[in-house]
Amino acid sequence: MTKSRIKTWLLMLPGAGMLLSLVLLPLSLLLLFSLITGNQISINSDLSFSNYINIYERGLFGPLMIKSLLIAFFVTLSAIVIAYPVSYGIAKVVTPRWRNTLIILIIIPFFTSQLLLIYSIMVMLQSRGPVMSFLSIFGADPTRSALYSNFAVYLILLYQFLPYMVLTLYSSMSKIDDNIIAVARSMGAGRRRVFFDVILPLTSPGLLSGIILVFIPVAGSFVESNLAGGTNGMMIGSLIDSNFSVSLNLGRGCALCVLFLLVISAVTFVIQRSIRYFAGRRL
Amino acid sequence: MKRLLVILLAMILLLSTACQADNGEATVPDGTGQETTDPGEIRKLVVANWQGYGSDAEYAIREFEEANNCEIVHQYFDSEEALLNMLRQGGIGEIDVCLPNMSYVAIGKREDMFTPLDTSKLENYKDLREDLCTVEDIKDEDGNVLGVPWTWGTTSLGYNPDAVDEEIDSWAALWDPAYKDRIAFFDDHTTAVMIAALYSGEDPENPDLDKIKTVLLELKENARLFWSSYDSFANPYTAGEVVMGSVWSGAATQLNATGQKMEYIYPKEGTVAWVDYWSIPRNAPNEDLAYKWIDWMTSVEFQSTYAADLEAQPPIPTNNKVFEVLSDEVKEALYVTELPEILAFQKELSPEVNEAWLDIWNEVKAAN
């Protein structure tokens, strides 16, 4: 082996080591634990698919997973619809002075804890809160509220995750050369044409990372639905959480995690492919 | 822009490490920090309990230390599991007396952690509430008791008297369509199953789970939300969104203390209850003192002082004679003017039963 090849291998070591210890090892442990029954693992413990069979027989995973994916879908879609004009405005319309201020305003919510964000929006929405007090002028019952419903969970999640979409889209948007847009306009493209044929394809990397940053955590969330989802609020995250925090059934909890991971990976794969295809065809 | 971000991030990092450092220092002096100047003379009684839970009150320690010429050292745990771990990892032979709850006495029994108690050494034992003393969970195979009941509390039914016109005396109120969408139910699988069992006349320790599921599904139709912490109950209750629910006695006390109105009642079908017990771990270095400590903790003198100290949020005392001493206001604040007659104890559940109950509760919550 030549000296340079050894150097290459040595340089790869930190990265490969991190990948091994932070991704491959935990994932294989998760897989291994999903095959045990109960909590203890030893060298001679039996491995079986009993947890998966149990999950199938209980029949809770499917409906809850679909529900979580639906909520994640609507949250992500709304985030995209709101974040495009916002990030376009920040990147292309306002002066650089304002740009920094606006970006900081969007980052500020990250400084507080997620739980605080949830509680603050719950205070806004709760009965006799600002929103309901305002609506009561028009005859609504102020002791009722939009809280404790799936709509409230959707609102809270959108509020929490919108900044991720805005920031990722902004970083793609600010890289677009103003001249490209100007050229498209001068060649007679309308606003809609400019958006779909120029801006959307050029921001597709940002869009993709935005979707991944919003869709996956939202699908796995459970605090929001536990606090504000009411009696029908349960999501797949609550089911997984209860297996660890309430009954300490490590095996079944891990099996649920593996299934969740598989579904999410498949969905993400489809999203990624369709965005690539769409953006590529337009370019 | 970038520089600004970097500065902000650095500030956050600094702040968070500073906070951590503070925490680290704060935890060190707690617990075993005190050293006696004269270790040969004064004996040390090591007590394991939750922090701020009665036994470390200044008067409790002073009187016992003066009467018995010893020093009390508290070791704090922050969960029942932590107490077990404390005993497993060297606590046996070190700790003289500790306070597990009923189900953890049962778990400790399986691991042979506790000494069978000679109740004839305890003067106050005969005055303690009987059904708490005779529960199977705290007895070993020979019928010896492993714990002496100290305090107990309930999860029962609370409602807003301004919004509810009738006198409520039954769990059936939670299923009453008159209060549809005005009910908050505790999001906990054991109390959920036990309350449903009490309501439908099943045995709360061994109910027919199919029936429980049907009953809980009806309840879910009627309820507005499932609460999991004091705040998640108190906020919608204060705002008037819900007017009734299954609730901890402590939550009712706190709501009334903050100017909210809540009636806390014990339904005729029975009330869900938890109990904390004093136990002596095996090989306790000062067993004789530990007996004296338990006797002091269950005495009318201590229990009435503790119960009257409402700011400490005391639970219900176990000594029957205490209720003769307590003032009417204190009794009212603790909801013990009339004590519940039928108690369904939160006992130890085997992992299989716990799993089955959790599955039922999850199925109810996931149903549409």
Cα–Cα distance for residue pair A153/B37, rounded to 1 Å: 59
Work out the angle between the directed axes of helices A150-173 and A204-219 (0-180°, nearest 10): 150
Burial class (CB in 10 A: 0-12, 13-18, 19+), B314: buried
Burial class (CB in 10 A: 0-12, 13-18, 19+), B83: buried
A230 Cα to chain B: minimum distance (Å): 4
* Cβ–Cβ gap A247/B351 under 8 Å: yes
Cα–Cα distance for residue pair B160/B173, rounded to 1 Å: 13
Contacts of A148 in chain B (CB under 8 A): 224-225, 236, 241
Residue ranges of E strands in chain B: 43-49, 70-76, 97-98, 148-159, 183-186, 225-227, 244-248, 263-265, 271-278, 316-317, 343-345
A1 Cα to chain B: minimum distance (Å): 42
Contacts of A102 in chain B (CB under 8 A): none
* Cβ–Cβ gap B232/A232 under 8 Å: no
> Whole-structure pTM over 0.90, yes or no?
no
Is the pLDDT at A185 greater than 70, yes or no?
yes
Candidates A71, A103, A104; CA nearest to A87 is A103
Is the pLDDT at A44 greater than 80, yes or no?
no
For residue A10, is it within any domain? no
Give the pLDDT of residue A279. Answer: 78
Nearest CA in chain A to B15: A111
Give the pLDDT of residue B129. Answer: 93
For residue A14, is it within any domain? no
Q: Region A145-161: what's the mean pLDDT? A: 93
ipTM value for the complex = 0.88
User: Coil, helix or strand for A227?
Assistant: helix
Cα–Cα distance for residue pair B83/B77, rounded to 1 Å: 6
B208 Cα to chain A: minimum distance (Å): 18
Residue B49 falls in which region: left (phi positive, over 0), alpha (psi -120 to 50) or beta? beta
* Cβ–Cβ gap B365/A38 under 8 Å: no
Report residue B338 as tokens: 């009339």
* Cβ–Cβ gap A231/B220 under 8 Å: yes
Residue ranges of E strands in chain A: none
B262 Cα to chain A: minimum distance (Å): 17
A194 Cα to chain B: minimum distance (Å): 29
Give the pLDDT of residue B6. Answer: 59
For residue A2, is it within any domain? no
Pick from A111, A143, A249: which is nearest to B240 by CB?
A143
B334 Cα to chain A: minimum distance (Å): 29
Candidates B175, B172, B170, B157; CA nearest to B218 is B175
Pick from A99, A147, A247: which is nearest to B358 by CB?
A247
DSSP state of A108: G
* Cβ–Cβ gap B355/A38 under 8 Å: no
For residue A18, is it within any domain? no
Pick from B12, B224, B241: which is nearest to A231 by CB?
B224
A224 Cα to chain B: minimum distance (Å): 12
Cα–Cα distance for residue pair A281/A213, rounded to 1 Å: 25
Residues in chain B predicted with pLDDT less than 50, given as ranges, are 17-37
* Cβ–Cβ gap B236/A148 under 8 Å: yes
Q: Region A187-192: what's the mean pLDDT? A: 91
Cα–Cα distance for residue pair B290/B368, rounded to 1 Å: 54
Give the pLDDT of residue B8. Answer: 59
Query: What is the rounded (10 degree) CA torsion for B94, B96, B101, B106?
Result: 70
A37 versus A193: which is more confidently predicted?
A: A193
Nearest CA in chain B to A96: B1
| CATH at residue A62 | 1.10.3720.10
DSSP state of A198: I
Which residues 51-90 on chain A approach chain B with CB closer than 8 angstroms? 58, 60, 63-64
Pick from B185, B228, B239: which is nearest to A128 by CB?
B239
CB within 8 A of B222, min separation 6: which ones? B174, B175, B176, B177, B179, B180, B181, B183
Q: What is the CA radius of gyration of chain B?
A: 23
CA distances from B150 to A52, B52, B54, B57, B254 (A): 44, 15, 10, 15, 22
Give the pLDDT of residue B24. Answer: 37
Give the pLDDT of residue B256. Answer: 87
Give the pLDDT of residue B26. Answer: 37
Give phi and psi for B346, each to the nearest 5.
Answer: -80, 90
For residue A217, is it within any domain? yes
A259 versus A136: which is more confidently predicted?
A: A259
Enumerate chain B positions whose Cβ falls within 8 A of a Cβ in A. 1, 4-5, 8, 12, 185, 187, 189, 220, 223-226, 228, 232, 235-236, 239-241, 351, 354-355, 358-359, 362-363, 365-366, 368
Cα–Cα distance for residue pair B324/B307, rounded to 1 Å: 12
For residue A1, is it within any domain? no
Contacts of A246 in chain B (CB under 8 A): 189, 358
For residue A39, is it within any domain? no
A100 Cα to chain B: minimum distance (Å): 6
Nearest CA in chain B to A239: B362
Give the structural domain span for A251.
24-34+46-282
Q: Is the dihedral of CA B251, B257, B258, B260 positive or negative?
A: positive
For residue A16, is it within any domain? no
Which among A118, A150, A231 is the top mutation candidate for probing chain B, defined by the most B β-carbons within 10 Å of its own β-carbon? A231
Q: Is the dihedral of CA A122, A123, A129, A135 positive or negative?
A: negative
Check CB contact of A148 with chain B, cutoff 8 Å: yes
A64 Cα to chain B: minimum distance (Å): 7
Nearest CA in chain B to A103: B1
Check CB contact of A280 with chain B, cutoff 8 Å: no
Contacts of A230 in chain B (CB under 8 A): 224-226
Nearest CA in chain B to A107: B5
> Count of domains in chain A?
1
